[in-house]
């Protein structure tokens, strides 16, 4: 883990009408670290990641990214600079193949007889490379994603983020819709992400997953940060107490 | 709890299970995509064989091995195919364009009117160019409005284009004065009715009607656009997952507007070629072709839920419709049966597609 945090959230507050969705929340994320964000429904997890990814703007407080103060107008701007969010529904086009999904919206072209055509081979080769880095096995790169398993699809979403050089990866309940073997697969994926130096913010309801994968845990309750600890130094009882406020 | 990782950092059982899962689903996936395109080919084959047998038994003549029939079927294909080319893009994006038939009629009437105004004033070929440009611009208008309604105001495609069906129909009839508009430009009637000899060896003359040649060139261009361009790729993406396309930074609104304009232009070209063939522009030129265009796209393997379809499939679909229509005329069946046959074929192909999806499309994680 390097010394300099890749992302810093400084005293961020956000109100929707009279509701304090977030109050004075601060946290740091280091490269190659998995930070788990825990909390009950309505604790402010979603608001926090939406502020980091450029969907919402903080009413008070600052976000520092890569050593500079960051104000992302929209998620597109945040993504261009390397903050990628993988939502639960993965945002994949199930009717297209792996290469097409990794390069969706940024397709490489090549020239054939003066005409500009999609460079399918480049897409396939580079998508395969991105997945190889993550140690994913996909046998056929020419088939639509709908023919793939949940874990493989998750891998494609992560592979896309890796290929586009994400420095911060926000994963919102990545294991929620998966069967047990697939969940393990995703946990393994996140571990290999760490090795490539990406900072991961991991949101989950599942304490087993949180303990399996994270380095640090931040717990939110009613918009406030109520606890932060190294994962090794705590146990699920303590996290649950923080979450429910016992 | 996760298992201890193996040398490559992954739990061993996850690896093995993933391979199993991937093999099973791979098989189902490839069967489904191949089946959609094979179905149309097989259907066309049996249709041709069926008409051949019918012609042999009833009239002791050949249906297939007759150059005149081949040429007539090609000419019959032009109308449905031109409408279906643009419709293919729209259906793949998850929409539908019900206005194409009367956009075709509108283009036919505008083309005839402008041609009649400019012929005599300008040299014949130049008059054609002027009429062509104006007619294409006129046909783009309903497409633009469709696109704006659907992309910006989020009107469902079915309703937006149904409204445009009425508007284009009314304006086409108003501009035609409620009747057909005959034309008398020799260049246009030459293009509409003459074959072009491509190959002459001794007594053998390989020729092709000019309007068929134009249609082939357009088809190749559309095929290229759909399968090789970024625009084509984004049409598939929008039809597959609109939300994902938005998040990937694809300008969904602009692409949606572009593809309804493309559909309208493809119908407009259909109207212009219709006028050339019959030397008259009629507001009802495409009235019966809406059904045919949707049929061609669906028979060609496109899903009405969006996300899949090919130009090749649509071409086969349009050929199937032309063979049904021409074949029924050839074997002397009352022409109204054509509508019945095309309607039944649409329903059957959608049913077959649904059944196939249920049999093979189920994902293992559901």
Minimal C-alpha gap between B301 and chain A (Å): 14
**Pairing mode, strands A168-172 and A83-86:** parallel
The shortest CB-CB distance from A105 to any of B8, B250, B361 is to: B250
Whether B185 shows a pLDDT value over 50: the answer reads yes
pLDDT at B27: 42
Tell me which residues of chain A, numbers 50 to 89, contact chain B at a CB-CB cutoff of 8 Å: 75-76, 79, 87, 89
Q: What is the mean pLDDT of residues B76-91?
A: 95
pLDDT at B199: 72
- Contact of B284 with B295, CB cutoff 8 Å: no
Return d(Cα A199, Cα A135) in angstroms, integer: 18
User: Hey, is the C-beta of B184 within 8 angstroms of any chain A C-beta?
Assistant: no
Cβ contact A104–B243 (<8 Å): no
Q: Is B119 helix (H, G, I), strand (E, B) or coil?
A: strand
Structure tokens at B108: 């036919």
pTM: 0.84
Q: Which residues in B76-93 are b (16+ Cβ under 10 Å) and which e? A: bbbbbbbbbbbbbbbbbb
How many Cα atoms within 13 Å fall on the side-chain side of residue B171? Answer: 19
Whether B30 shows a pLDDT value over 60: the answer reads no
Identify the residue with better confidence: B198 or B304.
Answer: B304
pLDDT at B22: 40
Return d(Cα A152, Cα A156) in angstroms, integer: 6
Query: Whose CA is closest to A11, among A21, A1, A26?
Result: A26
Query: Strands across the sheet with A83-86, in order?
Result: A83-86, A168-172, A199-203, A34-38, A216-221, A224-230
Q: pLDDT class for B21, splitting at 50, 70, 90?
A: very low
Q: pLDDT class for B35, splitting at 50, 70, 90?
A: low
Return d(Cα A58, Cα B288) in angstroms, integer: 58
Rounded to a whole number of angstroms, the CA Rg of chain B reads 23
Query: Whose CA is closest to A149, among A84, A214, A90, A210?
Result: A90
Q: Across the strands, what pairs with A83?
A: A168
pLDDT at B206: 75
Per-block mean pLDDT, blocks of 10 residues, chain A (246 long): 81 89 92 92 88 90 90 84 84 90 90 90 88 75 83 84 87 80 81 86 88 92 91 90 84
Crossing angle of the two packed helices B289-299 and B100-118, in degrees rounded to 10: 130
Structure tokens at A165: 């050089």
pLDDT at A181: 76
Minimal C-alpha gap between A185 and chain B (Å): 6
Question: Residue B230: CB partners within 8 Å, gap ≥ 6?
Answer: A107, A109, A118
Q: What is the mean pLDDT of residues B273-295?
A: 92
How far lies B105's CA from each of A171, B71, B118, B212, in Å? 53, 24, 20, 19
Tell me which residues of chain B, numbers 25 to 44, contact chain A at a CB-CB cutoff of 8 Å: 25-26, 28-30, 32-33
Quick: pLDDT tens for B225-240: 999 999 999 999 999 9
Return d(Cα A43, Cα B222) in angstroms, integer: 52
Q: Is A99 helix (H, G, I), strand (E, B) or coil?
A: helix
């Amino acid at each position: 883990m390097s010394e300099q945090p890749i992302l810093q959230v400084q005293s961020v507050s956000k109100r929707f009408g009279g509701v304090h969705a977030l109050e004075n929340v601060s946290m740091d994320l280091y490269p190659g670290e998995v930070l788990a964000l825990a909390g009950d429904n309505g604790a402010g997890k979603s608001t926090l990641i939406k502020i980091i990814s450029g969907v919402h703007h903080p009413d008070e407080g600052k976000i520092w990214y890569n050593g500079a103060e960051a104000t992302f107008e929209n998620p597109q701007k945040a993504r261009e600079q390397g903050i990628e969010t993988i939502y639960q529904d993965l945002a994949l086009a199930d009717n297209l193949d792996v290469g097409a999904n990794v390069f969706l919206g940024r397709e490489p072209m090549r020239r054939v007889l003066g005409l500009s055509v999609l460079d399918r081979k480049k897409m396939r080769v580079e998508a395969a490379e991105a997945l190889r880095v993550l140690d994913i096995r996909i046998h056929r790169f020419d088939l639509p994603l709908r023919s793939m398993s949940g874990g493989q699809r998750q891998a494609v979403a992560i592979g896309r983020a890796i290929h586009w050089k994400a420095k911060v990866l926000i994963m919102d309940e990545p294991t929620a819709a998966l069967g047990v073997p697939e969940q393990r697969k995703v946990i393994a994926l996140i571990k290999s992400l760490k090795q490539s130096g990406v900072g991961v913010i991991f949101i989950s309801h599942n304490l087993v997953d949180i303990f399996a994968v994270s380095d640090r845990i931040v717990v939110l309750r009613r918009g406030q940060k109520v606890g932060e600890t190294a994962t090794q130094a705590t146990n699920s009882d303590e996290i649950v107490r923080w979450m429910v406020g016992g | 709890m996760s298992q201890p990782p193996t040398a490559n950092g992954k739990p061993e059982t996850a690896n093995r299970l993933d391979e199993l899962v991937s093999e099973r689903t791979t098989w189902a996936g490839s069967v489904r995509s191949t089946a959609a395109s094979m179905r149309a080919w097989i259907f066309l084959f049996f249709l041709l064989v069926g008409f051949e047998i019918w012609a042999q038994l009833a009239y002791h003549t050949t249906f297939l091995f007759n150059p005149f029939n081949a040429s007539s079927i090609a000419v019959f294909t032009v109308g449905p195919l031109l409408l279906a080319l643009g419709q293919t893009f729209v259906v793949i994006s998850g929409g539908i364009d019900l206005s194409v038939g009367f956009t075709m009629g509108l283009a036919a009437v505008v083309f005839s009117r402008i041609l009649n105004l400019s012929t005599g004033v300008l040299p014949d070929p130049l008059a054609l160019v002027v009429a062509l440009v104006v007619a294409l611009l006129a046909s783009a208008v309903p497409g633009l409005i469709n696109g704006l309604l659907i992309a910006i105001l989020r009107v469902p495609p079915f309703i937006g284009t149904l409204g445009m069906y009425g508007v284009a129909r009314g304006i086409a009839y108003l501009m035609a004065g409620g009747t057909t508009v005959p034309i008398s430009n020799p260049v246009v009637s030459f293009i509409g009715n003459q074959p072009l000899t491509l190959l002459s060896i001794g007594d053998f003359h390989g020729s092709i009607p000019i309007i068929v040649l134009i249609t082939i060139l357009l088809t190749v261009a559309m095929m290229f656009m759909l399968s090789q361009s970024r625009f084509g790729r984004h049409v598939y993406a929008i039809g597959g997952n609109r939300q994902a396309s938005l998040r990937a930074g694809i300008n969904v609104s602009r692409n949606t507007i572009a593809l309804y304009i493309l559909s309208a232009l493809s119908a407009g070209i259909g109207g212009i070629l219709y006028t050339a063939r019959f030397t008259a522009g009629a507001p009802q030129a495409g009235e019966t072709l809406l059904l045919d265009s949707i049929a061609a796209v669906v028979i060609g393997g496109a899903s009405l839920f969006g996300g899949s379809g090919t130009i090749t499939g649509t071409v086969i679909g349009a050929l199937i419709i032309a063979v049904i229509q021409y074949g029924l005329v050839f074997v002397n069946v009352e022409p109204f049966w054509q509508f019945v046959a095309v309607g039944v074929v649409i329903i059957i192909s959608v049913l077959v597609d649904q059944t196939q999806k249920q049999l093979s499309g189920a994902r293992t994680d559901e």
